[in-house]
Chains A and B, each alone.
Chain A
């Protein structure tokens, strides 16, 4: 649901401006508009709020401090902060003047730096060392076997070379030329290290360093240079040293990080809170320029969800007094269309807002499709998977992921969506009598019952049921699309878009006409053919009147949209068949344990692929077929002026 918004104007004496801003910041519900954009050229009474130089300087100072705190926070190891502790520090720092904060932060930073400087430098040095040696690891592995064949000689230089195997003959040229330079005082060994590369080690007397290097450079031979600190060591020694260090460095880094975490404990919460305070104070000063002013008053404009309007008015009156007035401003239809959008949905539907937002925020005044997506995605998913075993496995996977990575937002959203889908898969599993495929049917685990003339379980891949299953899928599609068109009619009515309204009603008549032609064909509605014709012509006329030629061209897409829902049946059948193939393969092995292992492996693969494809296709039916009938993206995102620290 999209919340109703009210446009508000806050006017008061200029001396109360920053106090008012602070109250608004604290309440965190007002989406502030830039008043200066509304000031007409030549307007003399109202002008853009001028932030005085002293405040600007203060903002710059706070911003600098924020950057310093950020830099220190990056060095420290994050530690848990209790909300009570954070609130205590926040209130304390928020009450301080700019100068006090400055003093406090500088003092704190000096102390933190003193305690962490050594450890932080050690950590950086170890991490750099690890990164450097890791870069050499791949190359060293290639060169290593060659290096072991060489004898370390005092006064000799070792150079490692990598040559493309296609140009291996270049090694002969190197031999010849280096021989000339060094008067044959050299050794070159080479080996093919993979299908593309040949590695070579060249050892020669140090006195020829300059000439040999100049030659290799001129010939553009790919030379491996060792890290500076190992440059003087023989290659095999350097190789062993680096290998050893790569193994020990992670533990050393871990140890330093642990020590740093211990030191950080006392500081992290304070610095993190101070960072939030600085951010909030900077934001207050930045937003000040969005306001307008006259000689004696200030003006702030913005949008607030109507349900918070009264509370905001009361808070302003309580904290500032009657001198600052908040009034709701009447708005035109066009202005209302530009209102920021706040989506408010029940907890179970909330994760689906992420999917909706991927396709753009819905426009203000139109319908928010989140709740419908939260209803139809699990429904379609369950209809496709329809297996108790698969549904339970999915719920188990969601539970485990939630336990392990529950703090990651993406995991929380994905598991919430998949849990609903899993529940529906279990529900449809009962209807279809499936548990890891058709096992219940094969082993007669369930007894068939008849409820209101319907035989349950409904074995969907039985010959006489498959057409019914396809029919149900198409019927679901027709119902889904009809709902889409009805919502489209509501949207068009709300937006006073007459053309759209006629077009959507026309499509609804076309869908209705399908019932009559079906009734006539099945001999259920005598004379249905005539009604079908009337509805069809009426529908086409309305579509042409509302959507013009383009609208008429869209008529065939209605049929393709309906047939698109047959994927629910196709994917469902494919899933059961694959599950049954897994069971059949498993039973064809002599050993029960081999069979069980094969079955688990194949079912796991089926669950992963089936879950992925069912999710994609269920979302696609919602996003493409359904949303296209009514969804109007392009809404403005609601960005309330609120404190980050709260």
Chain B
């Protein structure tokens, strides 16, 4: 396989695996958050921010994959 293919596979793995991790975390926060909002609607703002917390994982994954694609020679 040429280097381009390896770059593509690495980038896909970086963002893909991170995406799965984020999805698992967000699913749990989402279901707990929906319950919390049903009981106390005024916490909706905080829940939205909490829901965004695990996105750091996929964002870092995306940043790494972007760096792999754009900067690796």
**Taking beta carbons and an 8 Å cutoff, which residues of A are in contact with B?**
355, 358-359, 461, 463, 466-467, 470, 560, 563-564, 566-567, 569-571, 573-574, 616-617, 619-620, 623-624
Contacts and interface: CB of A to CB of B under 8 A. Distances in A.
A358 B63 contact: no
B59 A567 contact: yes
A573 B66 contact: yes
Residue from B46, B59, B71 having most chain A Cβ neighbours under 10 A:
B59
A570 B49 contact: no
Interface in B7-66: 45-46, 48-49, 52-53, 55-56, 59-60, 62-63, 66
Contacts of B66: 466, 570, 573
Given A569-B63, A570-B62, A619 B49 contact: yes
B46 A470 contact: no
Contact of B63 (A359, A566, A617, A620): A566
Given A567-B56, A570-B59, A617-B52, 7 more contacts: A461-B70, A466-B67, A466-B71, A567-B59, A570-B62, A574-B62, A624-B49
Interface of B: 45-46, 48-49, 52-53, 55-56, 59-60, 62-63, 66-67, 70-71
Contact of A616 (B49, B67, B71): B49
Given A570-B66, A616-B48, A563 B60 contact: yes
Contacts of B59: 566-567, 570-571
Contacts of A564: 56
Contacts of A463: 70-71
B11 to A, nearest CB: 12
Grouping DSSP codes into helix (H, G, I), strand (E, B) and loop, the B interface class, with mixed when no group exceeds half, is helix
Contact of A359 (B46, B62, B71): B46
A399 B35 CA distance: 35
Given A461-B70, A466-B70, A467-B67, A566 B60 contact: yes
Contacts of B48: 616
B46 A567 contact: no
Contact of B46 (A358, A560, A563, A571): A358
Given A463-B71, A467-B71, A616 B52 contact: yes
Nearest to A622: B49
A570 B63 contact: yes
A466 B11 CA distance: 15
A32 B49 CA distance: 35
Given A566-B60, A570-B62, A620 B49 contact: yes
A306 B63 CA distance: 51
Contacts of B46: 358-359
Contacts of B60: 563, 566, 570
Nearest to A358: B45
A418 to B, nearest CB: 16
A359 B45 contact: yes
A560 B59 CA distance: 13
Residue from B46, B62, B63, B70 having most chain A Cβ neighbours under 10 A:
B63
Contacts of A566: 59-60, 63
A470 B49 contact: no
Given A570-B59, A570-B62, A620 B67 contact: no
A623 B48 CA distance: 12
A520 B16 CA distance: 36
18 contacts: A358-B45, A466-B66, A466-B67, A563-B60, A564-B56, A566-B59, A566-B60, A567-B59, A570-B62, A570-B63, A573-B62, A616-B49, A617-B52, A620-B49, A620-B52, A620-B53, A623-B49, A624-B53
Contacts of A467: 67, 71
Contacts of B45: 355, 358-359
A616 B71 CA distance: 29
A596 B58 CA distance: 32
A467 B71 CA distance: 8
A417 to B, nearest CB: 13
Nearest to B42: A358
A236 B53 CA distance: 57
B72 to A, nearest CB: 10
B23 to A, nearest CB: 15
Contacts of B70: 461, 463, 466
A463 B67 CA distance: 9
Contacts of B49: 616, 619-620, 623-624
B19 to A, nearest CB: 12
Contacts of A620: 49, 52-53
A567 B55 contact: yes
B16 to A, nearest CB: 15
Contacts of A461: 70
